[in-house]
Structure 1
Amino acid sequence: MKNEREKIKVFLVDDHTLFLNGLAMLLNSMPEMEVAGKAFNGKEFIEKLQDNMPDVVLMDIAMPEMDGIEATRKALEINPQLKIITLSMYDDQEYYTKMVQCGVNGFILKDSDIQEVRTAISTVADGGNYFSHELLRNLILTQKLKEHHNTTEEELSGRELEILIEICQGLSNNEIAEKLFISKRTVEKHRANILLKTECKNTASLVVYAIKNQLIEI
């Protein structure tokens, strides 16, 4: 967790100047936030990232020269620990799964209340995940419509289900270990088994899996 005196350095990537500058102004007005950089497309972002490593990136999807999907892939190749939140519109849902597969830490709508944006950034900066409920519903609906396999996933154990639910609440491995009174190593082992059994690649995929299978509610 970041020191209370340290500001969260946020990098904004969006090709709409008015939106970008307006969001930057709002975030800079918050005592715990600092806009460390801005880019109008993925290419510019990657170029600037080499010399400016932020805590959290807010990444648009549809942009000229290099879109958010490719920019996210390249950014995580440079720094696999980089935390990225996708900025999305309702009509971007065809790209949700691709961004999830890239390894983003969350989704928020572009027309979200600024306090939700603030919460999302703080949550992700502290090692959690943040997913707009409305976007998740759209993603789950899309996946159900495109369901292409009929094989039954290997059943999760009771402990694995318990850990999956905590993962969906945005808890880190350390926090889960403390809450369930087990070791961090045990949590990591269960998490690896959950990913294997559900055929999910990351936390975002697990959240979608849990909701689709009615393991948690939104």
Structure 2
Amino acid sequence: MSEKIRIYLADDHQILIDGLIAVLNTNKNFEVVGYSLSGKNLVEEVADKNIDILIMDINMPAKDGIEVLKEFNTKGFSCNIIVFSSFDDLKLIKQVLQLGAKGYLTKQSAGDDIIEAINSVYGGEEFYSKSVREKIFQSFTENTKQVRKTTGPVNLEHITDREIEILKLISLEYSGKEISDALFISVNTVETHRKNLLKKLNLKTTIGLVKFALKHNLINQ
């Protein structure tokens, strides 16, 4: 990587900021260019410093993370935001993702997760810590027949129960082998279902599957 990934931190606890800086400074491809202990003026500071990644808490004084995300959208500033929160409430997770956050980590995440999240988001992907993925997985509507009866903007009649199961697991970044083990089917069968699912949902890659599920209320509050 020719240029370092420029990272800005926002959290109201100095000790946590110091810990994050210590972790990130172990990676030669990262550069922490600043931090803030509140959400006040955060959007302007990030824009002025030409930040690649903003790692931000939700619970901050003066202006919380939700307000910051809304301000980014209102002002049209583009920034890759990873939420770093002690909360893993599904309603909050849905809200920040719908507001444009590219990742969600809990503060119980290991340093390796933080580094992987930064690299993934910088590379154009999304990243969720294990507990957040599990929360999303558990919240997928279990009764697919009930989903099919809803009058949403999408018709799920052409999606099979098996494909919905695979949609859940792909959205949580399970590998083909992990899905085959979980569902007792071959890897080739998983790949066939994946291709059929993408075609039926008119998606080009698997990255959009979680967004699809959020948009069409396949995840409960």
Q: 1:191 to 1:142 in 2, by over 3 A?
A: closer
1:32, 1:124 → 2: CA distance? 14
**What's 1:178 paired with?**
none
2:213, 2:24 → 1: CA distance? 27
**Deviation of the 1:66 alpha carbon:** 0.5
2:101, 2:131 → 1: CA distance? 17
Q: Could you report, residue by residue, the CA deviation over 1:95-120 in whole angstroms, capped at 9, with x for unpaired residues?
A: 22211210111111112111110000
Q: Which has the larger radius of gyration?
A: 2
**What's 2:54 paired with?**
57
The alignment status of 1:5 with 2:11, answered yes or no, reads no
2:82 partner SS: strand
Q: Is the Cα–Cα contact under 8 Å of residues 90 and 135 in structure 2 kept in the other structure?
A: yes
**Deviation of the 1:44 alpha carbon:** 3.3
Q: 1:144 to 1:169 in 2, by over 3 A?
A: closer
Opposite residue 37 of structure 1, the aligned amino acid is G
**What's 2:17 paired with?**
20
In structure 2, which of residues 173, 195, 202 is the aligned counterpart of residue 190 of structure 1? 202
The alignment status of 1:35 with 2:32, answered yes or no, reads yes
RMSD value, Cα: 3.9
Opposite residue 120 of structure 2, the aligned amino acid is T
Opposite residue 99 of structure 1, the aligned amino acid is V
Opposite residue 108 of structure 1, the aligned amino acid is L
1:60, 1:52 → 2: CA distance? 19
**What's 2:211 paired with?**
205
- The count of aligned residue pairs is 183
Q: Is the Cα–Cα contact under 8 Å of residues 97 and 139 in structure 1 kept in the other structure?
A: no
Q: Unaligned 5+ residue runs, structure 2?
A: 175-197
**What's 2:155 paired with?**
154
1:58 partner SS: strand
1:77, 1:9 → 2: CA distance? 23
**What's 1:45 paired with?**
42
2:203 partner SS: helix
**Deviation of the 1:204 alpha carbon:** 4.7
Q: 1:70 to 1:132 in 2, by over 3 A?
A: same
Q: Unaligned 5+ residue runs, structure 1?
A: 171-185, 195-201, 214-218
**Deviation of the 1:205 alpha carbon:** 3.1
2:2 partner SS: coil
**Deviation of the 1:208 alpha carbon:** 5.6
**Deviation of the 1:5 alpha carbon:** 1.6
Opposite residue 155 of structure 2, the aligned amino acid is E
**What's 1:86 paired with?**
83
Q: Is the Cα–Cα contact under 8 Å of residues 11 and 57 in structure 2 kept in the other structure?
A: yes
TM-score, normalised by the number of residues in structure 2: 0.66
TM-score, normalised by the number of residues in structure 1: 0.67
**Deviation of the 1:35 alpha carbon:** 0.6
Q: 1:45 to 1:35 in 2, by over 3 A?
A: same
Q: Is the Cα–Cα contact under 8 Å of residues 106 and 204 in structure 1 kept in the other structure?
A: no
Q: 1:19 to 1:46 in 2, by over 3 A?
A: same
1:43 partner SS: coil
